[in-house]
Amino acid sequence: MKAIINGKRYNTETAEHIAKFHNGLSHTDFNYIYETLYRTKKGNWFLHGEGGAATKYSKAAGNMSSGGEHIVPMNDDEVKTWLENTEHPEVIEKYFPDDIEDA
């Protein structure tokens, strides 16, 4: 998928795949979510997400909604939060080692 957002091109085919999240639901479920975190060659982060009609990725379809997909640019803080919430500690350690301290 490709998108231009605020004058920047995001392309899932040319960016580096970093991590993914799937909520385990069937693709036909209204609450299905599948997200992939990418990093561009220039170091910009973005999320490609797709989901069912009851998710943040839904799109209008007349008086109803259906599943859809979006590209969402992210800053470092948003990426770290997403990685923590989707349980990817190894990725946080790789890309944000200076932001981690032992408990």
What pLDDT is attached to residue 25? 97
Q: How many domains does the chain have?
A: 1
Q: CA angle, corner 80, sides to 79 and 84, nearest 5?
A: 115
pLDDT tens-place values along the chain, 103 residues long: 999 999 999 999 999 999 999 999 999 999 999 999 999 999 999 999 999 999 999 998 888 889 999 999 999 999 999 999 999 999 999 999 999 999 9
- At 80 the pLDDT is 97
Domain that holds residue 71: 2-99
Q: What is the pTM of this model?
A: 0.91
Helix/strand number for the chain, H first, E second: 2, 8
Q: Which two tokens stand for residue 43?
A: 């170091």
